[in-house]
Amino acid sequence: MLRIRNLDAGYGKLRVLKNISLHVDGGEIVTMIGANGAGKTTLLHTIIGLVKPMRGEIDFIGKTCVRGAVGKMVAAGCSLVPEGRQVFAPMSVEENLQLGGYILQREQGRAAVLKELEHQYELFPILRERRRQLAGTLSGGEQQMLAMARALMSRPRLVMMDEPSTGLAPLIVRDIFQIILRLREEGNTVLLIEQNAKAALAVADRGYVLEVGKVIVQGPAAHLLANSDVQRAYLGRDKHT
């Protein structure tokens, strides 16, 4: 579904991503873990078209990703849940969701949007309860669920999530990752960017470790969980102690 080959990207003359190659197949949860500043958000922004690649190729179901083509990428089936939620605070929960369904309405009509809205309320019951509430008055966890549901309103083939657990209480983090698992059960494909390496690898099929713009380790999630270097650097423990 997504193929990246020898990708360099950054801002101006600053090269943040260095020779990145990775792939995401349909129906997978693939996670990218790494410390702050490793380039994880830059990677998602490059895929979606916000950042122009300096070198390399990004192919999404046969379409080349280019800067400024965000609308085309969303229409092709790639959706982003941004870091920091970025909900439209002065608008209601339902208005936020309806905005997320604008491409669906354009292509399939109002009935399809209403059907997808009902599906999101089933997936995130709290949003049904809060549907008339202004998004800016929601709790952090509720805003994260709204950001996820808004991205899913376009019925994407690939949903990319940027640090969905940031700033949330442990119980809410657990709920968020349970929802990510359910998305895979429903046939969705997820590219998950996370600092919470343990939680991300627990739900992922495969993972990549990004360090200062380079992929340094990759493999099945279970193997990364058992890797002593990954444990020491990202899971807060040393396998041999």
Q: In what order do the strands lie in the sheet with 14-24?
A: 14-24, 2-11, 53-60, 63-64
Q: For residue 215, what are the β-bridge partners?
A: 210
> What is the pLDDT averaged over residues 192-198?
90
Residue ranges of the chain assigned to CATH 3.40.50.300: 1-77+157-167+174-241
Q: What is the pLDDT of residue 66?
A: 67
Q: Please check whether residue 56 is in contact with residue 5, taking contact to mean a CB–CB distance below 8 angstroms.
A: yes
148 pLDDT higher than 60: yes
236 or 96: which leads in pLDDT: 96
240 pLDDT higher than 50: no
Tell me how far apart the alpha carbons of residues 136 and 81 are, in angstroms, rounded to a whole number. 17
Q: What is the pLDDT of residue 42?
A: 96
Superfamily grouping for domain 1-77+157-167+174-241:
P-loop containing nucleotide triphosphate hydrolases (3.40.50.300)
Q: What is the pLDDT of residue 75?
A: 87
Tell me how far apart the alpha carbons of residues 118 and 9 are, in angstroms, rounded to a whole number. 39
**Is residue 142 packed enough to be buried (19+ CB in 10 Å), middle (13-18) or exposed (0-12)?**
buried
**What tens digit of pLDDT does each residue of 19-50 get?**
999 999 999 999 999 988 899 999 999 999 99
146 pLDDT higher than 50: yes
237 pLDDT higher than 70: no
Confidence of residue 122 (pLDDT cuts 50, 70, 90): very high
> What is the pLDDT averaged over residues 137-158?
95
Q: Please check whether residue 96 is in contact with residue 121, taking contact to mean a CB–CB distance below 8 angstroms.
A: no
**What tens digit of pLDDT does each residue of 59-97 get?**
998 877 766 678 888 888 999 999 988 999 999 999 999
**What tens digit of pLDDT does each residue of 47-57 get?**
999 999 999 99
Would you tell me how many other CB atoms lie within 10 Å of the CB of residue 79? Answer: 23
For the chain, the three-class secondary structure string (H helix, E strand, C coil) is CEEEEEEEEEECCEEEEEEEEEEECCCCEEEEECCCCCCHHHHHHHHHCCCCEEEEEEEECCEECCCCCHHHHHHHCEEEECCCCCCCCCCEHHHHHHHHCHHHHHHHCHHHHHHHHHHHHHHCHHHHHCCCCEHHHCCHHHHHHHHHHHHHCCCCCEEEEECCCCCCCHHHHHHHHHHHHHHHHCCCEEEEEECCHHHHHHHCCEEEEEECCEEEEEEEHHHHHHCHHHHHHHCCCCCCC
**What tens digit of pLDDT does each residue of 221-235 get?**
999 999 988 888 887
Q: What is the pLDDT of residue 241?
A: 36
User: Which residues have C-beta within 8 Å of that of residue 31, sequence separation ≥ 6?
Assistant: 191, 192, 193, 194, 200, 201, 203, 204, 206, 207, 208, 221
**What tens digit of pLDDT does each residue of 5-19 get?**
999 999 998 999 999
Confidence of residue 236 (pLDDT cuts 50, 70, 90): low
* Helix pair angle (140-152, 170-185), 10° resolution: 10
Q: What is the pLDDT of residue 59?
A: 92
What's the chain's average pLDDT? 92
Confidence of residue 239 (pLDDT cuts 50, 70, 90): very low
Q: Percent of the chain beyond pLDDT 90?
A: 79
